[in-house]
Chains A and B, each alone.
Chain A
Amino acid sequence: MTMDHKRKSLWLLIGGGLIVALGLAFFVSPFASSSPDGLNKVAIDQGFDGQEQESATADSPLAGYAVEGVDDESLSTGLSGIIGVAITFGIGMIIFGLLVRFRSKEPTSGAAPPAMTTGSA
């Protein structure tokens, strides 16, 4: 397999994975259980749920996994999921892109590409 093929199939996997993530976030999340999660349930049962204070971001237009102004509950949840996946991927790419860039600029090694061509058949 040549590097070109590998690169292509890497981006196919990333694209496919993103489509799966967006699909889950949009189509499946409206069906998620709305029961309290494990920690909240323990807090309720053990009587310390009342200690909870409102989040400082409770006024966010996406608070509680709903998009402000979208009345249809399923649509609102699904859209908030799509936005969340996009934001997370974006921030992730910025952080990891910077990490990789800093590394490749280090003087200890030459550019990465020459080292990578040696292994392909």
Chain B
Amino acid sequence: MHIPDGFIDAPVSIAAGAVAAVGIGYSLKKAKDTMEEKEAPMAGLVAAFIFAVQMLNFPVASGTSGHLLGGLLAAVLVGPYVGAICVAVVLLVQGLFFADGGLSAYGLNVINMALITAYGGYAIYLFLRKAMPKTKGSVVIASGIAGLLSVILASLGFTLEYALGGTGTASVATVAAAMVGVHFLIGIGEGIITALTVAVVLNVRPDLVYGARDLLPELEMRPAVTA
């Protein structure tokens, strides 16, 4: 879903850059306030893992592929603040070194693939968790469903940007329908990869899964509210 240069006009791209800067700035501040020392290497790993899995395009429909976005996965593993930064780092590396995603479109891509998926996706995850029993299974299933929905939200993010500054001539309604249709299929892949990854980490080190902190026994050290 990496937007190249040219799909969205300059004013909207610049405005998106400003919005993305505010969103990532907020994420950095919140991460600084809440992150513990032991979480730093895990956050680096999450970013590296997302980079790797984003390379693995899987076929969805005829002549179309998709890949993990990873924002919701990152949010469940390391929290939405750190998770959004992880994806923003991945997008930066892709844009700077791999010519994947235009540099002028960096803000657009951060909004769609980092902020919408990490914050919007995580809000959906929390909502689902509330309606489910407090078990590891719920964490896995809620992650999968929220992963799927986060991709659809991201595709709507692009549609909004297209409506505001798209350089194409196709109608917004047509683009919206096409985007949501194909990203529903890609989202299924996202949901499966997300659920599998969360299940593995949950079994190895449940205390490192941010979105499962409520399952930890009370006697386990809690993340200090204030040190």
Contact = CB atoms under 8 A, between A and B. Distances in A.
B129 interface: no
Interface residues of A, number: 74
16 contacts: A10-B38, A24-B52, A29-B52, A32-B65, A35-B63, A35-B65, A38-B179, A42-B175, A46-B170, A51-B6, A55-B103, A64-B99, A84-B52, A92-B44, A92-B47, A99-B35
A114 B204 CA distance: 26
A89 B182 contact: no
Interface in A63-121: 63-65, 77, 80-81, 83-89, 91-93, 95-97, 99-100, 102-104, 108-110, 112, 115-116, 118-121
A2 interface: no
A104 B4 contact: no
B43 A80 contact: no
Contact of B45 (A21, A109, A118): A21
Interface of A is mostly: helix
Interface of B: 1-7, 28, 31-33, 35-53, 55-60, 63-67, 82, 85-86, 89-90, 92-104, 155, 158, 166-170, 174-175, 178-179, 182-183, 185-186, 201, 204-205, 208, 219-222, 224, 226-227
Contacts of B168: 43, 46-48, 51
Interface of A: 7, 9-11, 13-14, 17-18, 20-22, 24-25, 28-29, 32-39, 41-43, 45-48, 51-58, 60, 62-65, 77, 80-81, 83-89, 91-93, 95-97, 99-100, 102-104, 108-110, 112, 115-116, 118-121
A88 B89 contact: yes
Given A21-B45, A53-B102, A112 B37 contact: yes
A65 B95 contact: no
B208 A13 contact: yes
B47 A89 contact: yes
Contact of B64 (A13, A22, A35): A35
